[in-house]
Each structure stands twice: as C-alpha cells, then as structure tokens.
C-alpha cells in the first residue's frame, strides 16, 4: 500500500514538473484546461459551470493577445534602441502605444476575474483560485 502511495505521489510530482517545462503557450493551455477541469469538479451547477468555462476561454484569449502585443513591442523597442539617432519622443510613443494596448487587455482581464467571482460561491472560489493564479502568473 505504501509503495503504491509513493508511486502515485512520484507520478503526480513528475506530471507537475513536466507541466512547468512546457513551452509558454502550451503551459498556458495546460493551465486553462486544468482550471476548466477544476470547474467541472467543484461547481455542480451546470449553468454556472458553462459561464465559468466561457470566461476562462476568454481569459486565455486575452493572455494570448497580450503575448503577441508583448513580442511585437519588445522587438520594436530593441530595434529602436539600436538606432543611435532615435529620439526620446519615438521611444516614448512606442511605449505609450504598448501601454494603451496593455491597459485595454488588463481591464478585460480584471472584468473576466469579476465574472468568475460572480459565477462562484466563496467556497467554490477557494478551490478555483489556485488555478486562476497559475493561469495568470506562470509564463
């Protein structure tokens, strides 16, 4: 029995380690799927579960959009910075453009968080929050 338990723990640990070694996009997808599976397990009301899954899908879309915005921005800033003649105004304008896109996505992410809260009880949220945290913080 003890051996079986140890084996199970080892398998779970390996699975957790493996998920942290996924490429960023796959890791995000895995975390979103884990959150949706947690919804199925923790929220018995199917209507609320459907609302939650829709919000989780939208959250994934927003984070993917942000990733694309970020990649373009970083490449543009490195290219601008490489130019000895770039003006402060040019760099500030590109940063301002990024900030505008970032804040729009941030606003939507917080709205989606509010939707998740509205569709859960405090007890259900306690079980779901670790998954939201992983979605939002793991690269």
From the list 11-19, 34-42, 44-52, 64-72, the region that binds another protein by CB under 8 A is: 64-72
Q: In the range 100-129, which residues lie near another protein by CB under 8 A?
A: 102-103, 105-106, 109-110, 113-114, 117, 120-122, 125-126, 129
CB 131 within 8 A of CB 52: no
- Distance in Å, CB of 16 to another protein, minimum: 20
Q: Residue 2: what are its φ and ψ, rounded to 5°?
A: -65, -40
Which member of 81, 90, 93, 100 binds another protein (CB under 8 A)?
A: 81
DSSP per residue, 60-88: HHHHHHHHHHHHHHHHHHHHHHH-TT--H
CA-based nearest residue to 109, from 68, 138, 66, 77:
66
Of 6-14, 38-46, 47-55, 67-75, the segment contacting another protein by CB under 8 A is 67-75
């Amino acid at each position: 029995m003890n051996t079986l338990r140890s084996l199970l723990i080892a398998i779970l640990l390996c699975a957790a380690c493996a998920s942290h070694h996924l490429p960023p996009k796959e890791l995000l997808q895995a975390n979103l799927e884990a959150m949706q599976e947690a919804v199925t397990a923790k929220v018995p009301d199917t209507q609320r579960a459907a609302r939650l899954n829709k919000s989780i899908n939208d959250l994934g879309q927003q984070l993917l959009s942000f990733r694309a915005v970020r990649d373009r921005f970083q490449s543009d800033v490195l290219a601008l910075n490489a130019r000895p003649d770039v003006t402060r105004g040019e760099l500030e304008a590109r940063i301002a453009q990024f900030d505008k896109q970032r804040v729009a996505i941030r606003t939507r992410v917080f709205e989606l968080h509010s939707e998740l809260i509205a569709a859960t009880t405090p007890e259900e949220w306690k079980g779901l929050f670790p998954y939201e945290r992983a979605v939002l913080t793991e690269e």
